Amino acid sequence: MIPGRPRAGRLAAVAMALGAMAAAASAVPPAPPARGAQFVFTSDAHYGLTRPSFRGARNVDAHAVNAALVARINALPAARFPNDGGVRAGELVGPIDFIAEGGDITNREEADDGRQVQPASVSWRQFVADYVNGIHVTDTSGHAAPVFMVPGNHEVSNAIGFYRAMTPPVDKTPLVEIFNRMMMPAVPRTRATYDYGADRVFFARDVGGVHFVFLTLWPDSVMRARLSADLAGVNPDTPVVIVTHDQPDAEAKHFRNPNGAHDINARDRFENLLADQFADGPSVGRPSVVEQAALERFVHAHPQIRAYFHGNSNWNQFYQWRGPNRTIALRTFRVDSPMKGAVSAADETRLSFHVAAIDPSGLLTVRECLWNADPGHPATGMRWGAAATVGLRPSRSTN
């Protein structure tokens, strides 16, 4: 009771206080309803390269290899998950909410093993034919599953230049196309108007009670600022999953050149793909300790970030990234490449992509789909490989 204030006045004051509390609570929307989700993650399609061998043929173009991968994605709904104790174990795969492509869709336009790589614009058209127009799976509502994509270091280098000769020296086509399709700007960018410094891909989607964030290359200072602003409007009980190209322990060469004119040159070999100048020394041979520590602090301060999917250096790996100071345990998923896999490049039976299933409680199971396990019988040559199940619900005290 507030002494000296009439009862009606006290009630009005209480009502005003409750109204203020309600307004404050409404500033952050409630967590989206948890219904579960399923998606496919693949990366590093590298259109423009060839595989030495694939299904009995030699020097097979990426267009053919990726078309075979897409055919397996299209067959997934009729496949059955293994009885491995994970989410939806033993059930038909069924609807797929989206397909995520983690970058390096096109190869860099430089001489590779003495052979000129095809123009990135040609590679982009092949990707659109295979993935954008060629994937026919549907989501739980019966709509065509979208293909979400982020750029990789090869798309960016093609757009801004590289320290080795490329033909043409610059081709912005894939990066412009990715930006326009994913960001949907009011005024679409063209090759003449696109500016990598200002026009970087960053978008988010809420699917099945999870907030997915897709961002350019790696969470550098610019991407972290965008992510921080985005998360300010996300309920803290909503799990957040990052999808990008580079692994959390990003490569030094992708940062801005700390030397001389800070340009792209063959002496220093920094590629100037990220916003931050490399702070660990003058050489691309050094680990990115300072930069990783900044990402570690950011994830520690945002415990709703629960998982991280990436490509770039490609093999199947489910691991925890703890950061250089080991203050976090970020569930991280590295995916294979159909063209440049560290293991599958020499053993085509190990070619794989990820199929992820999330249940309404927030459990995530990521399974390795070995999509070319029997090259002699491609229609039936699929089996399940490794799997990992983790909890996505945020913890307020720990990652």
Q: What is the pLDDT of residues 281-312, one digit of tens each?
A: 999 999 999 999 999 999 999 999 999 999 99
Question: How much of the chain, in percent, has pLDDT values that exceed 90?
Answer: 85
Q: Which amino acid is present at 160?
A: I
The set of residues, in sequence order, having a beta carbon less than 8 Å from that of 336 and lying 6+ positions away, is 42, 43, 314, 315, 316, 343, 344, 350, 351, 352, 353
SS3 state at 13: helix
Q: Cβ(390)–Cβ(331) under 8 Å?
A: yes
Measure the CA–CA gap between 219 and 390, rounded to whole angstroms.
22
pLDDT tops 70 at residue 195: yes
The set of residues, in sequence order, having a beta carbon less than 8 Å from that of 3 and lying 6+ positions away, is none
Q: Cβ(138)–Cβ(99) under 8 Å?
A: no
pLDDT tops 50 at residue 97: yes
Angstrom CA distances, 375 to 92, 172, 302, 347, stand at 23, 36, 44, 10
Measure the CA–CA gap between 130 and 128, rounded to whole angstroms.
6
Angstrom CA distances, 334 to 23, 289, 317, stand at 41, 20, 5
Residues pairing with 243 in the sheet:
214, 309
Token duo for residue 154: 């090869």
Q: Which of 109-118, 145-154, 270-279 bottoms out in mean pLDDT, i.e. has the lowest?
A: 109-118
Q: Which amino acid is present at 98?
A: F
pLDDT at 118: 87
Of the pLDDT bands very low, low, confident and very high (cuts 50, 70, 90), residue 16 is very low
Edge-first strand listing for the sheet containing 202-207? 202-207, 210-215, 240-243, 305-310, 330-334, 317-321
Of the pLDDT bands very low, low, confident and very high (cuts 50, 70, 90), residue 12 is very low
pLDDT in tens, 32-78: 555 689 999 999 999 999 999 999 999 999 999 999 999 999 999 99
Provide the b/e sequence for 374-391 (b: ≥16 CB within 10 Å). ebeebeebbbbeebbbbe
pLDDT tops 60 at residue 113: no
Question: H or E segment at 65?
Answer: helix 62-75
Q: Cβ(182)–Cβ(155) under 8 Å?
A: no
SS3 state at 26: helix
pLDDT tops 60 at residue 15: no
Question: How much of the chain, in percent, has pLDDT values that exceed 70?
Answer: 88
Of the pLDDT bands very low, low, confident and very high (cuts 50, 70, 90), residue 169 is very high
Side-chain-side CA neighbours of 353 within 13 Å: the count stands at 24
Measure the CA–CA gap between 172 and 185, rounded to whole angstroms.
17
Measure the CA–CA gap between 396 and 329, rounded to whole angstroms.
14
How many helices and strands (H and E) does the chain possess? 7, 16
- Looking at domain 38-391, does it have CATH number 3.30.559? no
pLDDT in tens, 254-269: 999 999 999 999 999 9
pLDDT at 25: 42
Measure the CA–CA gap between 266 and 138, rounded to whole angstroms.
46
**Region 19-27 average pLDDT:** 45
Of the pLDDT bands very low, low, confident and very high (cuts 50, 70, 90), residue 29 is low
pLDDT at 36: 84
SS3 state at 303: coil
Q: Which amino acid is present at 88?
A: R
Distance of CA 161 to the CA centre of its chain: 23
pLDDT tops 60 at residue 106: yes
pLDDT in tens, 118-152: 899 999 999 999 999 999 999 999 999 999 999 99
**Region 272-276 average pLDDT:** 98
DSSP 210: E
Angstrom CA distances, 250 to 20, 175, 310, stand at 44, 21, 11
The set of residues, in sequence order, having a beta carbon less than 8 Å from that of 374 and lying 6+ positions away, is 349, 380, 381
Give me the residue spans of the domains in the chain.
38-391
